[in-house]
Structure 1
Amino acid sequence: MASARLRELMARGTALLGSEVAILCGAMSWVSERHLVSAVSNAGGFGLIACGAMTPELLDAEIAGTKALTGRPFGVNLITMHPQLMDLIAVCAKHGVGHVVLAGGLPPKGSIEAIKESGAKVICFAPALALAKKLMRSGVDALIIEGMEAGGHIGPVATGVLAQEILPELADELPIFVAGGIGRGEAIASFLEMGAAGVQLGTRFVCATESIAHPNFKKAFLRGNARDAIASVQIDPRLPVIPVRALKNAGTEAFTAKQREVAQMLDDGKVDMAAAQLEIEHFWAGALRRAVIDGDIENGSVMAGQSVGMVTKEQPVAEIIAELLEQADAALGGR
């Protein structure tokens, strides 16, 4: 597996996660379910269940299903704007889930405390230094800094810039994982040397043999390159839509139309801002399911990061992780 130097650089990350290597598999709705999550954890990495829009009952079944496939640590990624967030936290606590990742905005009051009360570690996304400091003061155990090169919902700043801003300031204070556009081990080595405790990759694992993504979805990844993975455009400034990076297709146009429709509903007083944002979230959940599960890669949403061009074949998770470690080791050895 990893060389002594690589293990040393990942030590804080592996200590926090309880995994062999500090490589998290990013939570991708419909893709990061029990099969991929358990495969990543069984291969020495750290799998994350993407709760997304799941109900507490569905999450309950997904955690139980994952536990049946692995005895190794894994976590659950929860969306902060989920209307049943506290119920989902309770489901994680019931199962003794050791790590909960909160994504999609500032954690609502009481959520961090509720997770910590169950004995779990809390990991949050920090898209800026000021927010990272605020989250640190709130008592989070670790941070993920994700650049705009990532697939799915993205922030406005590139991974390299975020890493340079945040790691020198906070890496000594708490473990920080870097994400967004990472497709090879050389990049992992450089972020670790900058002070990161580990990394998170999503796009690289979509075409894993163990991933349940539809063959059409995988084919789109194998054909795609960095330029094909584009960010969605905000149509109405009143509707603060978080951009989503996906491969360009007819679904991209459908999202533009959806934004116009929701903006009109706001104008007509049919929905308030919170409901408008949930409308958009539900659109994405449905569009993503159409692509990942049904294989409709023309009208569905093929969420992919800019590292999609580095996904060249379908291969087992263990092979992907071994390849990344080998590249990271070679890069460190050459320094």
Structure 2
Amino acid sequence: MTSYPKTDALMQRGAQFLGSETAILCGAMSWVSERNLVSAISNAGGFGVIACGAMTTDLLDAEIAATKALTDKPFGVNLITMHPDLFDLIDICAKHEVGHVVLAGGLPPKGSVDAIKEKGAKLICFAPMLALAKKLLRSGADALVIEGSEAGGHIGPVSTSVLAQEILPELSEENLIFVAGGIGRGDMIASYLEMGAAGVQLGTRFACATESIAHPDFKKAFFRAGARDAVASVQLDPRLPVIPVRALKNKGTEEFTAKQREVGLLLDQGSVDMNEAQLRIEHYWAGALRRAVIDGDVENGSLMAGQSVGMVKQEEPVADIIATLMAESEAALERR
């Protein structure tokens, strides 16, 4: 099937907003969502998003330029709100005329929304609850991603299906809402589109694409895993508001528990303030992810994965993944 009229009709608003053929975003996965995967997704009709993560301004500058050399299609950049150089990173995005900036990791700091929009970019924010969704829209967000706890990486406490039922009926008629978390098949995409979603975001499904630079051992770990293997981290210290992370269980998840104890002790001693403590946790994840994704250390690195990992069985080109998702969605809509 190469024609998807019913799915295209339901995705029209989202695709028009993104400037892409389909309203399928790829979640920003640190070390994975870089120039090769991002450009491949945009070239295949989806919407790739560079994961800035802990990048310096120079690294992001080079990554955007390299991505633009591989695609002339739209793509976005995901920035972490707690990054100490957030406003400089926003300037880098503006320099390259990036059309869409995604802010993740908490409420946008004062002035960041205006800084993004004044430079002509559209702003996408994450909303883990209805009240926050409304606040972000009032504050200037052009679109929202509602991401459930089934997702990989940093997660909220509520499942995707519950968030969709709470938020889509209330906000989707007048606003652009993308749904994320635990989506592995086109049938589920069709369901959220019918509920009013403008589109969807997937990460885990793309992590092992042929174009992904992830280490072969990282990909093999995904192929072997089932949904129950992707577990959420536990917060040890209530003073340290660590956002839970979902990843495949290994020695790395145990090491994170030890890291929390270490940072908590530094807080007790007054050696670091709360902001520095959170940054140390983020830097831990960046390093642990690199060990798994780039070095292939699947025992000690972080294998961030959503519960849809059980549906990832083999390496496939991005274009085939998107075509399969669209065909499954169309078939589901035709059965209605």
**TM-score range, shorter-chain basis?**
over 0.9
Report 1:41-56 matches (<5 A): 41-56=42-57
2:218 aligned residue: 217
2:304 aligned residue: 303
1:277 aligned residue: 278
Distance 1:281 1:65 in 2: 25
1:207 aligned residue: 208
Counterpart secondary structure, 1:135: helix
Note the C-alpha offset of 1:2.
4.4
Per-residue displacement from partner, 1:100-123 (whole Å, max 9, x unpaired)?
000010001111111111111000
The normalised TM-score by structure 2 is: 0.99
Counterpart secondary structure, 1:287: helix
Q: Does 1:151 align with 2:152?
A: yes
2:259 aligned residue: 258
Unaligned 5+ segments in structure 2 are none
Q: Name the aligned partner's letter for residue 333 of structure 1.
A: E
Q: Name the aligned partner's letter for residue 290 of structure 1.
A: R
Kindly tell me: are residues 2 and 123 of structure 1, through their superposed partners in 2, closer, same or farther at Cα, counting changes over 3 Å?
A: farther
2:239 aligned residue: 238
2:25 aligned residue: 24
Q: Which runs of 4+ in 1 moved over 3 A?
A: none
2:290 aligned residue: 289
Distance 1:320 1:68 in 2: 23
1:134 aligned residue: 135
Distance 1:274 1:119 in 2: 30
Unaligned 5+ segments in structure 1 are none
Distance 2:83 2:274 in 1: 15
Distance 1:166 1:110 in 2: 26
Equivalent pairs: percent with the same residue? 77
The normalised TM-score by structure 1 is: 0.99
Per-residue displacement from partner, 1:105-164 (whole Å, max 9, x unpaired)?
000111111111111100000000000000010111100000000000000000000000
Q: Name the aligned partner's letter for residue 77 of structure 2.
A: V
Per-residue displacement from partner, 1:37-88 (whole Å, max 9, x unpaired)?
0000000000000000000100000000000000000000000010000000
Distance 2:218 2:3 in 1: 31
Supply the RMSD in Å over aligned alpha carbons.
Answer: 0.6
Per-residue displacement from partner, 1:197-252 (whole Å, max 9, x unpaired)?
00000000011000000001000000001000000001111111100000000001
Distance 1:81 1:231 in 2: 21
Note the C-alpha offset of 1:8.
0.9
Counterpart secondary structure, 1:77: strand
Counterpart secondary structure, 2:109: coil
Kindly tell me: are residues 2 and 264 of structure 1, through their superposed partners in 2, closer, same or farther at Cα, counting changes over 3 Å?
A: farther
Distance 2:134 2:233 in 1: 29
Per-residue displacement from partner, 1:2-25 (whole Å, max 9, x unpaired)?
422111100110110000000000
Per-residue displacement from partner, 1:244-302 (whole Å, max 9, x unpaired)?
00000000110000000000000111001111111111100000000000000000000
1:123 aligned residue: 124
Q: Name the aligned partner's letter for residue 293 of structure 2.
A: V
